Amino acid sequence: MKKFTLIFLVVIAIFSQSCKNKTNQKSNEMTENIFLKPYGTVYEVPLFDSIKIEYYKPAFKEGIKQQKAEIEAIVNNSEAPNFQNTVEAFEKSGRLLERVGSVFFNLLESNTNDEMQALAVEISPEVTGASDEVYMNDKLFAKIKTVHDNFDSTKFTTEQKALLKKIYNTFVRGGANLNAENKTKLKEINKTLSLLSLKFGDNVLAESNNYKLVIDKKTDLAGLPESFVSAAAEEATAAGLKDKWVFTVQKPSLIPFLTYAENRTLREQIFKAYTTRGNHNDSLDNKENVKQIVNLSLEKAKLLGFKTFADYSLEETMAKTPTKVNELVNNIMKRSSQKAKEELKTLQKLAASEGAKFKIEAWDWWYYTEKLRKKKYNLSEEDLKPYFKLENVRNGMFDVAHKLYGLNFKQNKEIPVMDKEAIAFEVSDSNNKVISILYMDFFPRPTKRSGAWMVEYRRQSRDEKGNNIIPIISLTTNFTKPSGDLPSLLTFEEVTTMFHEFGHCLHGMLSNCTYNRISSTEVPRDFVEMPSQIMENWASEPEVLKSFAKHYKTNLTIPDALIEKMQKTSTFNNGFTVTEFVAAAALDMKWYSITEPFNGNVNEFETKTMTEIGLIPEIVVRYRSTYYSHIFEGGYSAGYYSYLWTAVLDADAFAAFKETSLFDKKTANSLRTNILSKGGTDEVENMWLKFRGREPKVDFYLKRMGFE
């Protein structure tokens, strides 16, 4: 008995010490977790260089826990619900969750790895579930509804009205009015959709990384510019393939190959590799994911009282209804496809004149278009690229922002960055006051998804004392890396891409709002692209071109003759570029306009849709379904049309500058004051009217594209 007691006491002591050690270990982990305390960095930017994968999960869980406590405090407040104790209190909730989420999910896109992807699969349903718990909280919604239904708008600012409307509508659209059974259904749908979106994106990234066109015969490089060949050689060396050349389906590699490679068989091979991603009936196939995503989206829409997901998605946009979107898409498609058919005839004629015995196919379009450009205008992309050194383009873009809005950009090497090749800038206004941090991350890597985008690690807002919390913005692209002594040289399309994403950045950096939830780019999806697309216009203006287009070897300014050729080609090949885009917008709308669950063949559905809109077989829709990340992963479901919608707006908006001057201070100030600084604090229709003084006109877009 004594022996047993002694052993028992020893075990208890060991167990107690073990528990104490575990408690201390957990306490230490929580203490050192960088997400759970101030970063202590300049401007409180994220400590990218100190992040450990094990920090994310406990930070997410703590964020969910804190948000739950914050919601309970609102619900249990015995005072009558009002704007301050309910709406503003809700607006301030969930800050930790947002803090860790902005870092994790942004890095998941730009600097991912297997561990992060696995963690995303684990944590995304929890985060989605936590969000659903908030927006389906009956007691919380009852308080918000009370404030909404008894709101005396005369006593509040436009911004406060917008905040209440945004929060109330988000609850309703999030299922707050559903019964208990349907709330449970919606929660399961949302969790499953979050996982399917992750899987869809992971599959696209993996297949893009897996494909390599390996060339070992120098004769197969015929037609390719030397700079491009050198880059392919470096790619091969990095892959351990000595004396070979590697080309990938990343745009900086794919498009030049399709444009210049004389070997038609290899052009076909790499083109088909790109356009069949996620479509090989293997472990990375996305067809089943597409079906599940569109069907669950439809089920969600019907639960919430909508006929289709497109109806649900468009409710809070400028377009409002699928009918309005389809009218615009069909109108532009008729014009662009007619021009594309004319372009095709010209390309076929050119190919025949060179002895080609074949019919032009999709993988021939870039190649013969470039030949035609050279023949018709004596201009090729290779003539222009030496003038578009990346750093010069960037500085020219900064100069435009300075002339328009008085902004200054200063690199700060002390600011932690998300990758060794990324750089950070302090952005200050005309009074030398820092108003934002801007990251720039230009080059492709296997851990980064393709494309170009802007994200926010922190949106602009004000704290309880009215102090401005500056935004932290990132501009991400996949431009060609420097190679040997050759700097990164951009195509003009890449120049406009940089200006485009910078326009989004300006929208975030110039935000001047109180509330995080409606600041910055928090505007309807078919308006958010207007600030980005209007910036593209400055990139092609002769005055701006001469400020940054300097030859990388001689530093000589781009000649007037080249600029004149560029202007003459401004509508060249627009039939193709607009048609492939509008086809993608139509495909998006078709998928999300289904009224019954889809159980058919994804490829057949896509082919039928393209036939219905009149897409010629020589043009492939810009994004085929199995790699259409915008609508199956990126949040643009039933929204890809917005680039076209806002193209009409940006053409009209830029005309305001052309009617005055390129850097007219009054017009720039009006754009900044009435649109760029406003976030979602007012109806976008009102913002537009204050800036332009009338409804938008489509004429400016049609003229710009050469469709009149």
Helix (H) or strand (E) holding 414: none
Specify the amino acid at residue 517: R
DSSP strand pairing (408-411 vs 245-247): unpaired
Number of Cβ atoms within 10 Å of the Cβ of 8: 10
The enclosing H or E element of 458 equals strand 453-458
Q: Is 501 a catalytic residue?
A: yes
What is the rounded distance in angstroms from the CA atom of residue 290 to the CA atom of residue 200? 8
Tokens representing 699 are: 């004429």
Q: Residue 214 is encoded by which pair of tokens?
A: 């390996």
HSE-CB for 622 with a 13 A CA cutoff: 20
Backbone angles phi, psi at 137, to 5 degrees: -80, 110
Angle at 476 between CA 471 and CA 480, to 5 degrees: 155
DSSP state letters, 79-148: SPP-IIIIIIHHHHTTHHHHHHHHHHHHHHHHS--HHHHHHHHHHHHHHHHHHHHHHT-HHHHHHHHHHH
Task: Give all strands of the β-sheet with 434-441 in edge-to-edge order.
Answer: 408-411, 423-428, 434-441, 472-476, 453-458
d(CA 664, CA 405): 10
Catalytic residue among 501, 529, 580, 633: 501
Q: At what angle do helices 684-692 and 642-658 cross, to 10 degrees?
A: 20
Residue 138: HSE in the Cβ half-sphere, 13 Å Cα cutoff: 4
Rounded CA separation 356/360 (Å): 9
Residue 612 CB partners (closer than 8 Å, separation 6+): none
3-state secondary structure of 619: coil
For 437-483, where are the alpha helices, taking DSSP H only?
none
Structure tokens at 142: 């009852």
Alpha-carbon gap, residue 156 to 148, rounded angstroms: 12
Distance (Å, whole) CA 240 – CA 214: 12
User: What tokens does 92 get?
Assistant: 């301030």
Give the pairing of strands 408-411 and 423-428.
antiparallel
Task: Show the beta-strand stretches assigned E in 381-452.
Answer: 408-411, 423-428, 434-441
Judge whether 108 and 205 are in contact, CB under 8 Å.
Answer: no
Bridge partners for 483 per DSSP: 486
Active site residues: 501
